[in-house]
Amino acid sequence: VVRTRTPLSRTRVFAAAVAVADVDGLAHVTMRRVASELGVEAMSLYHHVANKEALLDGLLEALMDEVDESVAAVEAAAPEPDWRRTLRRRFLTARSAMLRHPWAPQLITSRTSVPASVYGYYDRVLGTMVDGGLSYHLAHRGLHAFGSMALGFAQELFTPPTGEDGEDDGQAEDEMAAMADAFPHLAAMVASEVHAAGDAVLGWCDSQTEFEFTLDLLLDGLERASTQE
């Protein structure tokens, strides 16, 4: 068997971690699994990362590198006229990177401390607001208000049933009826939204649209607060 003799390195370790997370999810990112991906024993990793915490920090750092790169490319291509449009585009760019790595929100919210790259990102968000004329005080509140939206994801607590799993027997209707009983307002809302969407049952709840709506609510609110200061 021809073994690649490329020596291990931090970058190779983190790249392997990203690959495992992309394919099998965050739960499968274990020392043993990442090592086996590199054709090596788990214990070898400890020569390059201190422990599993450090592995996850590196995973997040690799993700942030990707986000920063996307953002830099978009912002180099064309300027935006004001801080609101600049941030809006930046957050949506970050979002597109996050959507490529569905494990990202889970990873970020599970971390107790966060690598420097995340601080760097928020530092630049803050800089954009201050350069746009917001006071440090209001920009500080803006940072908190954006929260994870600055990185492109909302903390949705539940994903409403899409109805796209093809259970064709009576099961689905029974469930629906029980659901309508227990959660009358949610049921009425779904009915109303589906009707408005003109029988486009799929996609009655478009998370991209909802994300942008919430983001604009926050951006407009901050702008308003700033002119009232």
Chain residues binding a copy of itself by CB under 8 A are 105-106, 108-110, 114, 116, 118-120, 122-124, 126-127, 130, 136-137, 139-141, 144-145, 147-148, 150-151, 154-158, 182-186, 188-189, 192-193, 196, 205, 207, 210-211, 213-214, 217-218, 220-222, 225
Angle at 199 between CA 196 and CA 204, to 5 degrees: 65
Chosen residue from 15, 19, 33, 122 binding DNA by CB under 7 A:
33
- Between 46 and 122, name the residue whose CB sits nearer to a copy of itself: 122
Stretch that binds DNA, among 36-44, 66-74, 104-112, 120-128 (CB under 7 A): 36-44
Stretch that binds DNA, among 51-59, 93-101, 160-168, 170-178 (CB under 7 A): 51-59
Residues 110 and 148: beta-carbon distance below 8 Å: no
CA proximity to 118, closest of 139, 81, 147: 147
CB of 179 to a copy of itself, least distance (A): 8
Longest distance between any two alpha carbons in the chain, whole Å: 71
Burial of 219 (0-12, 13-18, 19+ CB in 10 A): buried
Strand intervals (E) in 81-155: none
The least distance separating a copy of itself from the CB of residue 144, rounded to whole angstroms, comes to 4
The CB-of-29 to DNA minimum distance in angstroms stands at 7
Is 44 within 8 Å of 96 (Cβ atoms)? no
